[in-house]
A = this chain, B = another copy of it.
Amino acid sequence: MSSQQDKKDKDFSISPLGGQGVITIVGVGLISGSFAIALKEKGFAKHVIGVSRTEASAKKALELGIIDEALPLEEAVKKSDFIYVAIPVDATIPVMQQIMDLITDQQIVADAGSTKYVLCEALKDHPMRKRFVATHPMWGTEYSGPEAAVRDAFIGRACVICEKEKTDAAAVATVENIYRELGMNLIYMDAESHDRHAAYVSHISHITSFALANTVLEKEKEEDAIFELAGGGFESTVRLAKSSPAMWAPIFMQNRENVLDVLNEHIAQLRKFKACLEKENYEYLNELMNNANKIKRILK
């Protein structure tokens, strides 16, 4: 039939997203902004709608050309083939429920949150669950807001997709295709495993940075000269302390059991160094550091 033929032509000629190439990013910040830039460059998106809690961010994102249009959530969702949610993980749950109440089974929604279990649990019985793809592209910087969005983000990093089996195969394939085109390596796991691993390779690094910043700032009260000295090693271990509390506090809270587990282990490891120094146990100190050197085989 001619209308079917029209539809087919449109699908294939206009966007690999399977519609007119209209996407909505919910949240116009570091992740969603970088994602939108990449989707336009790769030809997935013809038109990007931004949904933002604050007018200032929406305006900035328009100015920067990251979005073509700012709209309220409901209106944006209705016009979109693909909706990408990248906001603090506590806000994600109600917003995602709202979105999934609005979509048809021609639309796809994905999130980019750093925790997956609580969200997947909250959405598991939603009638549109099969149109939702739970993802965590493991890229970021310590900066936030639309100004923080960059070109060529995501390249070479891992992207976790959770509970693939609960999503329509075609919807998963579309999202996989997007992330692959962005240069990411796809990894599949259940939401619980994701959260446990994320605590180790991401969340604890943020906690140690925040705590290290506080350690040094505590001492700054006495010692101003410290900061003339702050060099590369310091900057490297502390830079994540610049990260947004609005983004990270909900992550730590949603993943608190895993984060507590790794934090306890980390404090125990630090206490070993402390004991070595207290007891002047040079041999064990060397052993601890030689063991730490094994990280070379993991880091490139």
B253–A277 CB distance below 8 A: yes
A266–B205 CB distance below 8 A: no
Kindly provide the distance from the CB of A265 to the nearest chain B CB, expressed in whole angstroms.
5
For the complex, give the distance between the alpha carbons of A221 and B215 in Å.
Answer: 31
Q: Kindly state whether residue A1 has any CB partner on chain B within 8 Å.
A: no
**Copies of this chain held together in the complex:** 2
A252–B285 CB distance below 8 A: yes
A237–B236 CB distance below 8 A: yes
Kindly provide the distance from the CB of A56 to the nearest chain B CB, expressed in whole angstroms.
19
A230–B214 CB distance below 8 A: no
For the complex, give the distance between the alpha carbons of A214 and B282 in Å.
Answer: 17
Kindly provide the distance from the CB of A262 to the nearest chain B CB, expressed in whole angstroms.
6
Fill in one digit per residue for A235-276: 1 if any B CB lies within 8 Å of its CB, else 0: 111111111010011001100100110111111011111100
Interface-located stretch among A105-113, A123-131, A185-193: A185-193
Q: Say which residue of B206, B213, B232 sits within 8 Å of A294 (CB atoms).
A: B213
A293–B241 CB distance below 8 A: yes
Please judge, given known A-B contacts A273-B211, A296-B242, whether A206 and B229 are in contact too, CB under 8 Å: no
For the complex, give the distance between the alpha carbons of A28 and B243 in Å.
Answer: 39
How many A residues touch B, CB cutoff 8 Å?
A: 91
A223–B204 CB distance below 8 A: no
Residues of B within 8 A of A245 (CB): 286, 289-290, 293
Residues of B within 8 A of A201 (CB): 216, 226-227, 229-231, 234
B266–A212 CB distance below 8 A: yes
Q: Which of A190-220 contact B (CB under 8 A)?
A: 193, 196-198, 200-202, 204-220
Please judge, given known A-B contacts A223-B196, A252-B285, A291-B214, whether A202 and B238 are in contact too, CB under 8 Å: no
Q: Kindly state whether residue A288 has any CB partner on chain B within 8 Å.
A: yes
Q: Kindly state whether residue A121 has any CB partner on chain B within 8 Å.
A: no
Residue of B nearest to A281 (CB): B253
For the complex, give the distance between the alpha carbons of A212 and B242 in Å.
Answer: 19
Residue of B nearest to A187 (CB): B228
For the complex, give the distance between the alpha carbons of A37 and B273 in Å.
Answer: 36
Residue of B nearest to A250 (CB): B282
Please judge, given known A-B contacts A242-B296, A293-B241, A296-B242, whether A266 and B211 are in contact too, CB under 8 Å: yes
For the complex, give the distance between the alpha carbons of A86 and B205 in Å.
Answer: 31
A-B contact pairs, 7 of them (CB 8 A): A187-B225, A205-B212, A205-B236, A210-B273, A214-B291, A242-B293, A245-B289
Beyond A139-B232, A235-B299, A252-B273: 7 further Cβ-contacts under 8 Å? Answer: A140-B231, A201-B231, A205-B236, A208-B237, A218-B265, A241-B292, A242-B299
A residues whose Cβ falls under 8 Å from a Cβ of B? 138-141, 157-158, 160, 185, 187, 189, 193, 196-198, 200-202, 204-220, 223, 225-243, 245, 248-249, 252-253, 256, 259-260, 262-267, 269-274, 277-278, 280, 282, 285-286, 288-296, 298-299
